[in-house]
């Protein structure tokens, strides 16, 4: 149930904390990630492919023709696990500088991973999910990585259920709120978070989260809180770790060989 709601500005007294050199370096990588070209795919529940004709057998729909190796749910799950997390319209983003308002659906992230960044030619894939084991070829080469954390949220601006792929700058802020006495759990009734995105003096994107309750005076007059039905519907369709990229060890070995060949 999409709704057009007015955009908000974060309060004038919202100031980001002093940043360390490590945070600046991480933001530099995050800026590069945002510039990486993505491939649009259909939204969840829709398909750009025409389904085969089917016959009825009881209440099930059964295809008349046999499935090939690239068809069927086993093939879907196998291929989906190797696709990039940067190609989904269900990911929460703020285009350029701006503001957003989100509602967390769970009190914790549903997935956490490390992601490597490999400088390659224009148009080539640069971000690679770490295997998370001692056998990761990019870890063995000493390639650095950053933390990505995934959250189920509702984007109040359009009422859509999405997932938030949060880098370390955002993840640290959410973790602090999750540990606080006032704002834990982060998915408590009536609690939302304003998200402000802008560039700092160094030209890097800075995200600032500000908690706001729907009965606060600070709640924008032109925005309606989510209804129970909207929240229940979103909770019935939570995203899981399948939205994240899962490359094969062979793919990472090939990238590692490419790096070694350039040295």
Locus of tokens 């549903």 = 110
Q: Taking the CB of residue 11, how many other CB atoms lie within 10 A of it? A: 13
Give me the CATH code for the 22-41+61-262 domain, please: 3.90.198.10
CB 162 within 8 A of CB 80: no
CB 175 within 8 A of CB 167: no
Query: Could you state, in order of their start, the residue ranges of all structural domains in the chain?
Result: 22-41+61-262
Of 106, 102, 76, residue with least CA distance to 156: 102
Beta bridge partners of 211: 193
Of 136, 146, 145, 144, residue with least CA distance to 256: 136
CB 5 within 8 A of CB 157: yes
CB proximity list for 79: less than 8 A, separation 6 or greater: 70
Digits of tens for pLDDT over the chain (263 positions)?
Answer: 444 444 444 444 444 454 544 454 445 444 444 544 444 433 333 333 334 333 333 333 333 444 445 565 665 555 554 444 444 689 999 999 999 999 999 999 999 999 888 877 776 777 788 888 888 988 888 888 889 999 999 999 999 999 999 999 999 999 999 999 999 999 999 999 999 999 999 898 999 999 999 999 889 888 999 999 999 999 999 999 988 878 888 988 988 998 887 65
């Amino acid at each position: 149930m999409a709704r057009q709601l007015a955009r908000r500005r974060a309060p004038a007294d919202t100031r980001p904390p002093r940043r360390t050199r490590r945070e600046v370096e991480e933001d530099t990588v995050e800026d590069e990630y945002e510039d990486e070209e993505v491939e649009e795919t259909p939204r969840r529940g829709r398909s750009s492919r025409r389904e085969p004709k089917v016959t009825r057998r009881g209440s099930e729909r059964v295809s008349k023709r046999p499935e090939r190796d690239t068809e069927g749910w086993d093939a879907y799950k196998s291929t989906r696990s190797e696709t990039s997390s940067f190609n989904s319209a269900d990911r929460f983003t703020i285009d350029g500088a701006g503001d957003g308002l989100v509602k967390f659906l769970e009190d914790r992230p549903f997935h956490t991973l490390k992601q490597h960044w490999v400088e390659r030619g224009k148009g080539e894939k640069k971000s690679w999910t770490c295997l998370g084991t001692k056998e990761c070829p990019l870890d063995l080469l000493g390639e650095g990585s950053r933390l990505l954390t995934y959250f189920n949220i509702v984007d109040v601006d359009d009422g859509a259920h999405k997932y938030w792929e949060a880098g370390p700058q955002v993840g640290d802020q959410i973790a602090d709120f999750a540990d606080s006495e006032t704002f834990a759990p982060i998915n408590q009734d009536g609690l939302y978070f304003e998200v402000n995105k802008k560039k700092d003096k160094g030209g890097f994107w800075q995200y600032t989260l500000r908690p706001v309750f729907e009965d606060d005076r600070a709640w924008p007059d032109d925005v309606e809180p989510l209804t129970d039905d909207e929240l229940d519907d979103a909770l019935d369709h939570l995203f899981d770790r399948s939205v994240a990229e899962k490359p094969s060890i062979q793919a990472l070995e090939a990238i590692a060989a490419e790096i070694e060949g350039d040295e």
